[in-house]
Amino acid sequence: MKSLYSKKIMDRFLNPRNMGKLANPDGIGDTENLRCGDIMRIGIKVEDNVIKEIKFETLGCAPAIASSDMICELAKGKTLEKAKKIKYEDIVDKLGELPPPKIHCTQLAEKALKMAIKDYEKKQ
């Protein structure tokens, strides 16, 4: 039986590398999709304008968790300016093909990261 999702999506869903809660994050981005019920939180720790640590907490489907994990992977070690340029299409490129109704998961992850960065910048 063929899976609805790519192997990369299933791997990131079943074995997320960046799941968890950061103690004392420098910035937090919370977002949700009321229609599907996905809830995402991304926390970042920043040193010298670089995202040194990043974790996510997501309540949602496999693509939502995989997207959260992948955006963390893409942002870790990047300057804030480079992290701001990460788009949902970058997540799709890394995860592989998503069913069209699940693209919103990648958009939520992009939004949560940008909200975390904005929260950090607001505190500076």
Q: Among the options 105, 109, 113, 115, which is catalytic?
A: 105
Element (H, E) at 10: helix 7-14
Dihedral-angle region of residue 43 (phi above 0 means left; psi in -120 to 50 means alpha; beta otherwise): beta
Tell me if residue 61 is catalytic: no
Rounded Cα distance between 76 and 14, Å, is: 20
Q: Which amino acid is at 117?
A: I
Tell me if residue 36 is catalytic: yes
Q: Among the options 36, 39, 50, 103, which is catalytic?
A: 36
Return the active site residues. Answer: 36, 105
